[in-house]
Amino acid sequence: MRTSTRMAAVLTAVGVIVILAAPVAGARALDPSGRCLQRSGPVGRSAGHATRDVVALTGHDRLTRWLGRHPNAEAAATAAVTARPVTVAVAFHVIRADLTADGGNVTGRQIRRQIAVLNAAYGGTTGGSDTGFQFDLVSIDRTTDASWFKLNGGKERKAKAALKVGGLETLNIYSADLGNSLLGWSYLAQDAASVGVLDGVVIHYKSLPGGGWGPDYSGGDTATHEVGHWLNLLHTFEGGCNGGGDLIDDTPAEASPAYECPVGRDTCAATGLDPITNFMDYTFDSCMFRFTADQAIRMHEGWAAYRAPATAAIAG
């Protein structure tokens, strides 16, 4: 049973908990007003490396509290990992400035390859654990709107209000030019109901497989990372070397994000090298290839608590 101090810890804050990676030129929060952000994002890219997220959590880790009220949920989620995979419907929204590749008009082939990348990562065929999630592309739509193409500020809500389909169980992915050298952002499962139409994953159009940033950031794993947040995973370096961390037992504690592709990085005294190959760190796409068994369980817990249709939810 997964009941260590890391799993039991509850994240608390007075106002907001913000975990920032090393500063990146041009990167900024999309809401500079100081209001509480309930998403993971944005992501900045510089010449040397990218910070994949600036995470802001408000209040408590609600999934841990939900598990306390549903004592059978952890066992059910553990069983769900190896049962018939949960198939998540994906609606893909291409927001483009024009009909050119530089204008964000990603091809259908790129989108299908992106779904294949997700299925390989979450199916464990890249070298990690099979999470018990698979993804089914059910629709693609294309919107030509130069004003929406740089999807920042208030544009996000307007675009999503017009394009979003399905309920909390439907993964809406939006590709655009995000401005400020951003790679993407997502909303945590625990915040899905409260953020409403904003719920979903946003990725830079160049981050899709075959995009313009080469093997470092165009392998499709920006989406892999952000979908992890959509399923309620935190970063491997959450909380640094102390505290509850990412609430996952089998990801060694990590003091700070890892960039590029470091070898033998070990930033905390606790057992284990930094999990630089984990999809929830900040390394190059070419260096991240695994989810862990406990991450898979937590994703199923998050799915049951916040995203599954009522008839399929795990109750304690």
Q: Are 313 and 305 in contact (CB under 8 A)?
A: yes
Rg for the chain (alpha carbons), in Å? 18
Number of Cβ within a 10 Å radius of residue 134: 16
Q: Are 236 and 280 in contact (CB under 8 A)?
A: yes
74 is catalytic: no
The two tokens of residue 242 are 């102390």
Burial class (CB in 10 A: 0-12, 13-18, 19+), 255: middle
The alpha carbon of residue 3 and the mean position of all alpha carbons in its chain are separated, in whole angstroms, by 24
Q: How many residues does the chain have?
A: 316
Number of Cβ within a 10 Å radius of residue 5: 10
The residue from 156, 226, 238, 254 that is catalytic is 226
Q: Report the catalytic residues.
A: 226
